[in-house]
Structure 1
Amino acid sequence: MYYDYRYISACEAVWRIYGFPIHHRTPAVERLSFHLPREQTVVYSDQMDVGDVLERPNVDSTKFLSWMECNQKYEEARKLTYVEFPMKFVWKQPTREWAPRSKGFSLGRVYHVTPDSGKKYYLRTLLNFVKGLTCYEDLRTIDGLVYPTFKEACYARGLLDDDKEYIDAITKASFRETGHYQRNLFCMLLMSGSLSKPEDIWEKTWHLLSDDILYKQRRIHKNKDLTLTDEQIQAFALADIEAKLQSNGSSLQKFSEMPFPDELVVFEGQNKLIADELSYDIPSLIQDYDKLFPCLTEEQLMVFNEIMDSINGQSGGVFFVYGYGGTGKTYIWRTLCAAIRKMSEIVLPVASSGIASLLLPKGRTAHSRY
C-alpha cells in the first residue's frame, strides 16, 4: 500500500485554522493571445461534433479580434495598446468579449514569440506600440501608406535594427577567414533568427561570402582560366549555403526575401557523379575537336553527323558501328566525346574490357559504370 503523506507545521496549521490567505497574486495578470488573419484557435472536446462547434455563437471570436471591435465602439479604448487594454477593460469569457472595467485593474501580458517565428514575431512587435487598431491593415499603415508585410511596417516605424553589426562581423571575418568559414557564419546567423533583413546582409556581403567560389570551380573543372559571371558565383554560393542549412534541418526557403539558387545548381552541387562528369577542361577539348574533326573520312563523317543530329535534335537512338580493327572506330568515339563535352554535356563512354576502355577519353568498363 502506498500512502501519500503531507507534513503541516504548527505555523501553517494555525494560519489555515484562522482562515488567513495562503497565496497571493497581486495584481492580476491577463494573458493576451494574438494570431495572424484567419488563424485563431478554436477549442473543443473530443466528444463534441465539429458541426456543432462551428455553429456555436462567437466560435471565431478571440481576445485579439474582440479588442479590435472594442476600438470601434469605445473612444477610450483607442488610447490604449493591446498590453495596456486589461487595465481599463475586462474579458468576459461566457460572451467572449471585452467590457469596460468597473473596479480594479489587471496587467496584460502578450504571449512570447521567438524571432524565427516570422510574421507572428513582427506582429507582436507592432502590438506593443500601435494603438486603436480596428483591422490588421491598420498595423501595416503608417502615415497613410500601407506596407505589404508586418516586417516592413516594423522597419518603417524604426522598431528593428539595421543589422549593421552583423555586416561588420562578416567584413571583419573576411580579413582572416576563408569564404567557407564565412558561409558557415552566415548560416549560423540565419538559424539564430537574429537577422532582421537577411536579404540586405546578403546583398552587401555576397562578394565576401563567395570569395573562394571561383577558385573551387576552377579546381573542379580543372581549368585555371575559367570565368564566372556574378550571377553564377552567387548561385554556387547560395547552393553551398542551402546545403549547409539543409544539413541542420533548415532551408533558405524559410526566409522568403532571400534569393534561392537554381535547383539544378543545388542538385549538381550535391551529386558527386554529375560533378565528376562535368569537370572538363573545355579549352583542351576544343583543341582536340579542332584537331580530330578535319581528319574524319567521308564514312566517319557520315556516322558522326548522324549521331550528332540525333543528339542536337534530342531524338535519341541506338547506333551500331561495325568495322575491322584499325578502321577508325575509336577515332569516331574520341571526336564525338570532344564535340559533346565541349558543350558542357555529359558523355559516358564504356567498353566491355578494361584494355578497350583505356582507348576512350575517361572511359570505364560497362560493369564498373552501371
Structure 2
Amino acid sequence: MVNGIHCKSFKQSAQKLGLLEFDDSIRECLDEAIVFQMPTALRCLFVTILVHCEPTDVNHFWDQYLESVSEDFSRKPHATRASVINDTLLNINFYLESMGKDIKIFDLPPLQTKTITEEGSYPREIKEELYVQILTNDLNAATKLNYEQHTAYTTILTRVEANKSGVFFIDGLGGTGKTYLYRALLATIRSQGMIALTTATSGIAAVIMPGERTPHSRFKIKILTTDSSMCGISKQDETSKLIKIARLIIWDEAPIAKRVAFKTLDRTLRDLMDQDESFGGKVIIFGGDFRQVLQVVPRSTRSQTIRESLVSSHLWSKMIKLQLLKNMRAKSDTTFSEFFLRIGNEDEPTVTQGLIKLPNAMLIQNQGDDLPEDSLINSIFPSLDKNFKSIDYMKDRAILTTKNEYVDMLNDRLIKRFPGEEKQFYSFDETVDDTNHHYQEEFLNTLLPNGLLLHKLMLKNIFQLFY
C-alpha cells in the first residue's frame, strides 16, 4: 500500500515511492519509432530497451505496444490472437538470445513453445544467418563485375554449387573491388537458400557486409593461441551445426591476422567435418592486401616472405590465388591509380626520411587570407549556398579526416554555411551509483564515447527550403 493505494507489484510501489525513475523517455522513444519503423525493427528496439534500459514496468509496455510490434504477424492468414502473441514472443526471444538473455527473466507472457514452427526449431545461430537481409544492389552486382572479378566469381561459385572443397585467396590492393565481389557471391548464394558465413579480422571492417563478424567471435578462436590450439566449438553446439551446413566461408582482411589463428581454424574444421582436407573440405575465401601489412621483413624479401610468414608456407601452397588488379574506386583517374599502386609496391621515390612528395595536382592551395579549413571547404563544396538542394552535388562530395575532432570542426563550419534557422540540442548526462559526486555533469558533457553524438548538437532544417 502506498498512500492508501494498493499496488499490483513491488516495482509499482517502488515507483510511486520515488525509488525508481519513470519510463517517460522510453515511452517517447517507442512512440516516435512507431511512426516510421516496421514491426521487425520495433521488436529489435523493444528488446534493446529491455536489455539496456531496464524499464520498470515491462508488462505495461508489452500491453501498450503489442499491436504495433505484432502488426506483421496479425496479417498472416488464419492468425489468431494467441498465435500472434506467441509468434511475437518467439521473435523477441530470438533477439534476446542473440544478446545473451532469456525471455523468462522479463515480466512478459509465458512462451508457448508447442506452437513453434519448423523454422522456429532451427538453432539460433542458423536462424540469424537465415534472417540476413539480401539487398537488391547486391543481387544485381553479379552482372556488373569486371573481367577479373567475374573470373573469381564463377570459379568460386562453381565450387560452392558443386559442394566441392576449395581454399582461395583474393589478392588485391585497396579499391580493386574485393568487397564488391564478396557481396555479389553472398547475395547469389543466400538467395538460393544456402548459408554463407562472412568474417573480417578488423572489427571496423566486420560491419561492411551483411551478417559479418570477426573470426574470433564467429569461430570462437581464443585470444591466446598456440600451434596446438583449437577453437572453442564442440561438435554438439549450435555453432558447429551452422558451420557444417555453411557452403561458403569468407575471411576478409586476412593478412593482418596471426598465422596461428588460421592453423587453429584449420584443425577445428578438420575435426568438425571429420575430413582430413584443408579446412575440413569447406569452400573458404581469404582476402586482403599484403601491401597494407606493417613492414616486418626487409624490402628485398617482403613480397613472398610476408605471405608465407603470415599464413604459413603449407597453407599458402594449397590456396588458389586470384588477383584483382584494376582499381575500380578510382577507375576514372588512372594517374592516381598508378601513383597509389607505386606507393603500395614501394616503387615511388622518397624525398627524405622515407617521406613521399605528393603531386601538386592532389594539393589544395590556400586562397588568400582564408583559413586552410575554409579553402578546403570552398574547393570541395563550391557555391554551397546555391547547390545544396542538388542531390547529385551533395552525394558526390565528402571530406575525410584523420581525427573525430576535425570532423566536428568541419561539420560546424559547413552547417553555418547552409541557409535556414540554426537549432541547438543538448544531451542529458548523469552518473549511476556515484554517491560521492566524483563526476560532475559538466565533466560528463565533455566525454565523447564511440557511437554517441556530441553533447551540443547543431542542426538546420533545410528541407523546409525545398518547398
Verify same fold: TM over 0.5.
no
Q: TM-score, normalised by structure 1?
A: 0.30
Considering Cα pairs closer than 8 Å and 6+ residues apart, tell me whether 1 or 2 has the greater RCO. 2
Larger Rg: 1
